[in-house]
């Protein structure tokens, strides 16, 4: 890009700028993580300490049908097609945490559809 402007720039200079920007971004990201976010104590249940929580749901998606956009709209046709989508959120019970304000959060979770 520097050649387009007619200004010579060394690759080492660009590399140093990117490294400094990356360090600043890392420091800002660390500052955003609340110090009070800690792992929740192990649950006081008789369940396994490696318990897995799975929350599942099914919902309907509308897709464009074969006659989508046919003019005029009064013409009969398959304009929309419906399909069920099943999704789930999965996490280990040991990955549940709370902030200092007792707000719940998950340290690691997985989502599938």
Whole-angstrom distance, CA of residue 54 vs CA of residue 46:
18
In tens, the pLDDT along 78-109 reads: 777 888 999 999 988 888 888 888 888 888 88
Checking DSSP bridges between strand 96-98 and strand 38-39, what pairing results, if any? antiparallel
In tens, the pLDDT along 17-50 reads: 888 988 998 888 888 776 656 665 655 555 566 7
Model pLDDT, residue 41: 62
């Amino acid at each position: 890009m520097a050649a387009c402007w007619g200004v010579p720039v060394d690759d080492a200079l660009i590399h140093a700028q990117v490294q400094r920007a990356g360090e600043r971004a890392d420091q800002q990201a660390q500052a955003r993580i609340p110090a009070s976010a800690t792992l929740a104590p192990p649950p006081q249940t008789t369940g396994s300490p490696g318990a897995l929580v799975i929350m599942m749901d099914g919902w309907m998606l509308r897709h464009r049908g074969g006659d989508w956009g046919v003019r005029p709209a009064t013409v009969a046709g398959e304009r929309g097609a419906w399909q069920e989508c099943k999704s789930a959120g999965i996490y280990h019970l040991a990955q549940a945490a709370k902030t200092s304000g007792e707000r719940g959060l998950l340290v690691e979770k997985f989502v599938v559809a």
